[in-house]
Amino acid sequence: MSAQPALSQLDAEAQKIVSKYDKKHAAVLPLLHLAQEKIGHVTPEAEQWVSQWTQVPVAHVREVVTFYSMYHQKPVGRHPIRFCTTTSCVLMGGEKALDHLKKKLGIQNGETTPDGKFSLEEAECLCACEIGPMMQVDGKYHGPLNEKKIDEILDKLK
Ligand code: FES
């Protein structure tokens, strides 16, 4: 795995982002995105860094990080998977598909494969019920899922 950049290496990009907004606090979300994209997850140091750039108290930055499921608070795999476990997807066969995915990856909700390739997070409705059961891999939506389709998606990423 490549070394993580120090947050200070992101200062120039942070400056550009902050300068786009009239109020510095509006840059909290994009700066958290930047830190997560470069580091892989949002560390306590990243929260501190965002706080310094935006003048938003670090406790509030922390609230944002814990509120939005898109921010990872611990390292995740190179291909983060979010699997919808809300009713509409469950009714369409989501549980069976999720069981298959877990078996295939050998991990449970909240875990990362030993090779660091995939991590799995069970998620609330991802607003793509029409393709349920569905999951999001690297930000891209896939569905309707069945065992064969899951195998194909994972094989392409191996
Ligand atoms: S219930 Fe699964 S995307 Fe909405």
Ligand 1 centroid distance, CA of 129 (Å): 4
Decide if 115 contacts 122 (C-beta within 8 A). no
97 Cβ closer than 6 Å to some ligand 1 atom:
no
Query: Which of 20, 45, 67 represents a domain boundary (last residue)?
Result: 67
82: closest CA among 72, 73, 92, 91? 72
Which CATH number goes with the domain that contains 20? 1.10.10
pLDDT tens-place string over residues 110-143: 999 999 999 999 999 999 999 999 999 988 999 9
36 and 101 assigned to the same domain = no
pLDDT at 1: 41
What the block records as the tokens of 142 is 């896939």
Decide if 110 contacts 121 (C-beta within 8 A). yes
What is the rounded CA–CA span in Å between residue 77 and residue 109?
13
Determine the structural domain holding residue 132 and report its residue range.
79-157
107: closest CA among 86, 79, 87? 79
pLDDT tens-place string over residues 145-157: 999 999 999 999 9
pLDDT at 70: 82
Decide if pLDDT at 3 tops 60.
no
User: Does residue 1 lie in a domain region?
Assistant: no
pLDDT tens-place string over residues 17-57: 999 999 999 999 999 999 998 988 999 999 999 999 999 99
User: Does residue 74 lie in a domain region?
Assistant: no
Q: Is the pTM of this model over 0.85?
A: no
86 Cβ closer than 6 Å to some ligand 1 atom:
yes
Decide if pLDDT at 4 tops 70.
no
pLDDT tens-place string over residues 56-100: 999 999 999 999 888 989 888 999 999 999 999 999 999 999 999
User: Does residue 135 lie in a domain region?
Assistant: yes
Q: Which of 81, 82, 86 gets mutated to test ligand 1 (max ligand atoms within 8 A of its CB)?
A: 86
Query: Which of 42, 67, 92 represents a domain boundary (last residue)?
Result: 67
Ligand 1 atom index nearest CA of 131? 3
Q: How many CB atoms lie within 10 A of CB 80?
A: 19
